[in-house]
Each structure stands twice: as C-alpha cells, then as structure tokens.
Structure 1
C-alpha cells in the first residue's frame, strides 16, 4: 500500500542524513501538494513536483469536462455522442475512399465499344462507370485510352448520369456546365436526399428544452437544429404523428413547411 506524504515548499535541512523541514520558515503562502511515494522519482528530485502538478492539471481538466457535461440536457448529451460517432465514421469512410481510389487508379478504365455504349447495364454498374469516368477526367493524360478524346468520355458520363439520376439530357448538360465535375456528383446526390422534418418552438408558450423533453417522452427522436437557432428542432423519426401531438394542437410548436 503506498505511503502518503506531503511536499512543502520551504527551507529544508539535513540532520543525521535525514531531511527535515524548517518549521519556522513556513508561511501562509507555502503550497501544499499531496501525493504518494509511487509518484516520486528518486533520481530526479525536481520530478516530484512536476509529476504531482501534471496529475493536478489532468484532474482539473477532467472535472471541468464532467461539470460541463452535467449542465447539458440528455438530448444534448446524446447529440454530442452522435456527433463524435459520426466524426469517427466519416474518418473511416475517408480512409476507405482513399484506399478505393488507390486501387482504382491501378486499373485503367476500358472504354466500351461503340456497339455497346447504348447497351442497357444494371444501375450498380452505371454508378461504378460514373466513378471510373470521373477518375479518368480528373487526370486525363494519365488514365485515358489512346485515341480517345475528352469529349467521348464526357458524352458517356452525360448518358450515365441521366440514366442513374433520371434527368433529361438538356438539364444534365446545363448542370455539367454549371458545376465542376468533382462537385457535380455531390450536388446531384444531395438533391436526392429528402429534407429533414423541422419544427419551431413557440417561445410564447414553452421553452425548447421543455418541448424537446415532452416530445422525447412520446417517442420522438430529435435534436437541436443548430447553434444558430434557439427555437428550432430537427426530427429524425417519430412513433407518433408529429403534426397531431397534444403539444402541436396546443400551439407549442409549428411545423416548418417544405417548399
């Protein structure tokens, strides 16, 4: 079992080979730091105070983090955990994407023959071919086939994008001229994502915190919409109709209209 000791900043003297402290030299300004013999580095006397101070700073940071977490609502704590998990998933997804790009970069995309360009292929293959063409166009001199022009790849990409996203040729051509190719897929995929359901708290009748807790108790999964709004909530899913709850009928919140 480790022995406890107290380090006192003051004068020290040695008597009979043992260290003792000058009791008359102590004052109210002296610092007292508690520790154990396990923290002492016998080969470095100055390391004692460094070790204890480091432990003290670590415990202070931990205590402040715990206090800040105690001030959060349960919904805010859950949102914080979800954000941390999402950040980790995004990092893993980026690493996987980099690996896929490295693997894909080793294989040169084979342009289909003229008689097979209009041939119907499954949607997963269309998606993969779009990625391959975008890779070729990102470094055309390196990945292109000989005797193949950039326009041929662009025309094939246009056809595949229209097939994959069900756009007409005229509209897709306009988008390809409007957006850089590396951003075009992100825009098209974001356009296909449904807009989340959002509600606005009626601050004249309730507070967002109380409204969120009441809806959570009814089986609604929601989060604060963001730091820029003090009254908004985003609803992910609900076991009850969000437009027919007692809180909604009492005017505690309003559904945001989709435009």
Structure 2
C-alpha cells in the first residue's frame, strides 16, 4: 500500500560539559607526558637498612674480645675445665671433700687424740687433788673415782667421734650430689663465651638479612614500577573514554494512511507489520 513516510533520526550527545573539556584534554596530555618521561616509575635505590650504632659495635667488640679471652681453655673456661677434671670441685671444695672423707672413713683411737690426753691429765689432777684434800689420795676410793672419771670422758669422746663420723658421711653424700651440680654449672660456664659469640653472629646475620631484603625490594620495584605506570595511564584513558560520546538512533516514521484513519502512533505499532 502506498503512503509510507521517511525515517526519523535522533542524535543524543553525551559529551562532557564543554567548559570541562579543556581540563580533561590537559589532564590526558599531562598524563601522557608523565608516562613518557617516566615520572612515578623511579625507584629509590638507596639502602633503608639502619647500620650498627657506634656503641653497639663497641659492645659487640667487647663481647667478642671477652669471649675469645675465655674460650678454648683460656681464662674462665680453663677454670671450669679444672672443675670438670676434678669431678666437679674447685680446689677449696676438693680439700674440704678430702678432709670430710678422712673423718668419714676414720677409726676410733682415743690415744691418738692429743686433746683427749690433755683432758685426761686435767681430770686426773682434779681427782687427785680432791682425794688429797680428803686424806684419801691413793686409796681405793681415789682410784675408783679416777677410773669412773676417765671412763666417762672416754665414753663421751667416743660418742663425739661417732657423731662427727656420721655427720661426715652425710656431708660426703651431699658433697657428691653437689659435685654433679657443679659439673653442670661448669659445662654451662664453658659454653658461655661461645654463646656470646653466637649472639654477635646472630646480630650480624640479622643485618645481612635486612640488607639482602633491601636489595630484593629495589629489584622488585624496578621490575614493577613501569607496569604500575602503564596501569595508571590506562586507567586515566579508560576513565576519560567514559566521560562522553555521541549516540545516533534511527526510527521509522508514521504511516500517513494509518494516521488518516485515526490509528496514530498506536496503530502504527500494532498494524505496522501489515503494510
């Protein structure tokens, strides 16, 4: 059926506000300059590792010197080695141990005690003086009193020796246990200089690790910065591309025959496929 009309073309312009366009163009231009010049891609290649302070170095040197002076049998390590070699005792302790051992292993002999003989002489004189004053010196009573006195002194002397011997055996046992403790302490003491050297070594290893990590940081930044810079440029370009644009859309016009019949735009939509 004749009577079709021409198409209607609609153009929609979504370009940025014209007053803002110079600023956007300048921003893109400056971004391109920054990218070409490498601005933002530079890497700080200086070290960020803090070196040892002078006092720290001085302390490390002092520890090292003291450790070397007491290592390998020198100085304090030699003293501790002597304790280990003597079963865990220093010279004074070893002397006390030997004296205690002598008492613990001794046998009772009252005649070998000079102090006891002196006590007997004093007791004999005292008993004799008392008997003489009573007019009984040399009598049976005198002799009986003297025998009782000396016997009592001997019994008390034996009991004192037995107590000393028991105490010496107990002390000898405790000193043996102390010797084991001294061995452990001496061994730890011998290791102390080496441990000091290891502490200084650990500090140096920590510094070396931080320096190596700093080199890796510089390397990684040198590898990544150009890509980061390119990503920035792409982000700016992508964002700018979304700031405006022009869109054109074509639509068919109304059929004048349908308009004359009163269908208008609605009829064109419903019956347009028939014409």
Normalising by structure 1, we get a TM-score of 0.19
Q: Normalising by the residue count of structure 2, what TM-score does the alignment of the two structures yield?
A: 0.18
Instruction: Judging by fraction of residues, say which structure has more helix.
Output: 2
